[in-house]
Structure formats: structure tokens, C-alpha cells
Amino acid sequence: MANLSLAGVLGGGWRDLAFEHFREGIAVHWLLKGEPVEPSVAILNYRPGAGVPRHRHVGLETIVVLEGTQSDENGDYPAGSVVLNPVGTEHSVWTKEGCVVLIQWDLPVIILGETK
């Protein structure tokens, strides 16, 4: 794994990274892949209309929206937003036009339901 500069990532440097399938409509580039219960850091590239079903956080999740807008039941988060999802919080995630996020999570989430 190579470290990336924040300025490079914010400036679109993520476009040069290799992505793989993560879940329907979402590709991932792993910066740190914790298996099975260790922290992970990744860049997620959501296609327009993609989302993640309702889930519960069992560890802290930190998101920086790099491009587009990510949404959940609490609002819309455009590029530049920092979203913190503490332990015990639940939500679903979606994007209308697509988005790219830098995400860190301490532990995998527990999927609870269908995408909104």
C-alpha cells in the first residue's frame, strides 16, 4: 500500500487508482483492508443511484466526501463534507448523481435492511 497525499486525493488523484467491485453500484480502492475485525480505510466510488442498505455502526466510521453528494436520513453531504457515524448509530446511504468518498471504519457494519 502506498500512502497518498490529502491534497492529491482532494485534487482528484483518486481517479488514477485501481478499483474493484465492493457491492452493487460501488467500487472500492483499499488503502488499508482490515480482516475480519480490524480498521479499514478505502476510497469508495458510488455510481449514480447506488446506495448501502440500512446498517448499524459497531465502530466509529469517518467519511470525507471527495466528489458529488452522499445522502442519508439526516441530510445531504456535498464534496468537502466530513461525516462522523459513532458506535450505535444506524442509517442507510445513497447518492443521486454518484459520489466518491474517503472512508475509515473501525469495525464492519451490520446490515439491517434494504436500500432506500
> What's the CA gap between 63 and 65, in Å, rounded?
6
Closest to 30 (Cα-Cα) out of 106, 111, 102, 116: 102
Instruction: Name the percent of the chain lying above pLDDT 70.
Output: 95
* Span between the terminal Cα atoms of the chain, in Å: 34
Q: Which domains does the chain have, with CATH numbers?
A: 18-111 (2.60.120.10)
Give the pLDDT confidence of 47-64 residue by residue, as tens digits: 999 999 999 999 999 999
Give the pLDDT confidence of 57-112 residue by residue, as tens digits: 999 999 999 999 999 999 999 999 999 999 999 999 999 999 999 999 988 889 99
> What's the CA gap between 104 and 63, in Å, rounded?
7
> What's the CA gap between 77 and 69, in Å, rounded?
5
Task: Enumerate the β-bridge partners of residue 58.
Answer: none
